Amino acid sequence: MTQNSARSIIPGTNRTAMANATVSGPIPDDQPLSVTVLLRSETERNSLHAQTMVANQSLANRKILSREEFAQKFGASTADIAILDQFAKEYGLTVTSVGKARRAMTLCGSAAALCNAFGTHLDRYQGPGGNYCGRVGALSAPDEVVAVIEGVFGLDDRKQVCTKYHLRPASMTVKASLTFTPPELAKIYNFPSDANGSGQCIGIIELGGGSRAADLGAYFSSLGISTPRLTIVSVDSGTDQPGTADGADGEVMLDIEVAGAIAPGAALVVYFAPNTDRGFLDAVTTAIHDSVNKPSVISISWGGAELTWTAQAMTAFESVFADAAAMGITICVAAGDNGSADGQGSAGLNVDFPASAPHALACGGTSLKVDGAGAASETVWNDGPNSATGGGYSNFFAIPAYQSALNFAKQGRGVPDVAGDADPNTGYAVRVDGQDMVIGGTSAVAPLWAGLIALFNQQLGQPVGFLNPVLYGAAHAAKLTNDIVVGNNGSQQAGPGWDACTGWGTPNGQNLLNALKH
């Protein structure tokens, strides 16, 4: 391979500038940069993942691989690593890390060298969405390299995603009956009462903000719960850096407090990374392949409309989520808080990604009320186009096998799969930066389900892993969820059975656990 080797476009890498952003100048040639290159998957691995998509699949019929087994059998091949290593040398780049299990290699060099290697140009951009270093157009590489990689991440550091939580409006009078602690929701949703997540680990992905130990101690003490064991993992120099209560701290504390209160016996590991497509992907692959902490369920409460992502990024995330399924790891993802358009206005209907990835458990939102007799009732959460559960049909991913029996009119993956209380007007009592607050949003539903799955894993003595095929196969015959039949999120309407507002509905924890035992 030489710099004169035939080159081709790397599929799915085309980028456009952020809306209303303008070029303010070029990136200096000598500016040091680094990228993550995701290596390809093998045919045998793809066959393995296809098996995970089959509906009615019981846990007993699954072959769960340990992280070590997966790395040995399906990690990046030595030959592919050698090809990328030779490419790096030819273009004056340095390989600073090789993650065989993650199928990821880090290449470092000057901006000029990386632009030459991947056939692009970098500029500084200014715009209402923030300042960033970015590119337009597609990336290219020698044909030998294109053949062995799934994507290149790091040559564009725009803010990729946003949090999925909503603060209760300050103007609204807080009523105790419209505010729930996580343990109260666990009781309402019939979570197993004889489990606490002991022996399990919940991974939480964060792309900004931070946590405060004093607040966590005070919060869990107020619930009569011991503060869970918390570990912080830095990815790509991401840090646990608290800011303000109305910023990303609200997301971080909400995720930790909900997951920790539902499964107080579980260890919590928070992976902090920069809010870029590279940082997000690296955080997810680090969590999935963390052979020290070994999370069996991962909670993600960040996302963005599909049309804001590159095709290579969506393909890469789904690829590593499928890897997680093979290792028995459940990926819970918030389905979005901006209704059926996902905040895209005139761009039409959109669903949020990575919730729309077929190997994600997409978590939508409801509005929950409990009457004086303790009876609960729920409708679709919809307080307007920018305060409503996400849901709809993917414009990128085809209908997965486990949804094939639903006979969608649209030929795309349906979102969400499940739901939980998300209306900030019936929200979660949490503590953030010294303040007691009420927060809603589908951000709260992902850690709620993650905590529930940690309870299941403890009770079952094995990981639930990829829940969707079990859920779709069994939901017709058993009362595994509370079906939400009233409401809409804009263009999508709730109804009996699965719908594109709340999926199968909110959890009936004990019933779902009983079904998983068979």
Say yes or no to pLDDT of 491 above 50.
Answer: yes
Q: Please state whether beta strands 162-163 and 481-482 pair in parallel, antiparallel, or not at all (unpaired).
A: unpaired
Of 156, 251, 257, 417, which residue is the catalytic one?
Answer: 251
| Interval 266-282 mean pLDDT | 98
Confidence of residue 176 (pLDDT cuts 50, 70, 90): very low
Domain boundaries, the chain: 7-41+77-153, 162-516
Residues ≥6 apart with Cβ < 8 Å to 426 = 178, 179, 180, 367, 368, 369, 440
pTM more than 0.85: yes
What is the rounded average pLDDT of the residues 18-40? 95
Q: Mean of the per-residue pLDDT values for the chain?
A: 92
Beta-ladder partners of 419: 364
b/e map of 58-95 (b: 16 or more CB within 10 Å)?
ebeebebbebeebbeebbbeeebbebbeebbeebebeb
Q: Are strands 330-334 and 361-370 parallel, antiparallel or unpaired?
A: parallel
Please tell us whether the domain made up of 162-516 is placed in CATH 3.40.50.200: yes
Query: What are the φ and ψ backbone dihedral angles of 69, each rounded to 5 degrees?
Result: -65, -40
The reply to whether 436 belongs to the active site is no
What is each CA distance from 79 to 13, 76, 147, 272, 285, in whole angstroms? 24, 8, 12, 32, 21
* DSSP state at residue 482: E
Task: Round to whole Å and give the CA distance between 422 and 443.
Answer: 8
Q: Has residue 67 got a pLDDT over 70?
A: yes
Whose CA is closest to 220, among 252, 251, 247, 182?
A: 182
End-to-end C-alpha distance for the chain, whole angstroms: 54
Q: What pLDDT, on a 0 to 100 scale, did the predictor assign at position 57?
A: 62
pLDDT of residue 475: 59
Annotated catalytic, 34? no
Which pLDDT does position 265 carry in this prediction? 98
Query: Catalytic one among 255, 277, 290, 433?
Result: 255
Q: Which residues contact 245 (CB under 8 A, 6 or more apart)?
A: 432, 433, 434, 435, 437
Q: Which of 243, 157, 181, 176 is nearest to 208 (CA)?
A: 243
Catalytic one of 41, 356, 367, 443: 443
Q: Does residue 251 have an active-site annotation?
A: yes
In single-letter form, the type of residue at position 66 comes to S
Q: What pLDDT is attached to residue 50?
A: 64
Q: What is the pLDDT of residue 245?
A: 81
Per-residue pLDDT tens digits for 442-481: 999 999 999 999 999 999 999 999 999 989 987 555 688 9
pLDDT of residue 496: 93
Residues 250-272 have pLDDT tens digits of 999 999 999 999 999 999 999 99
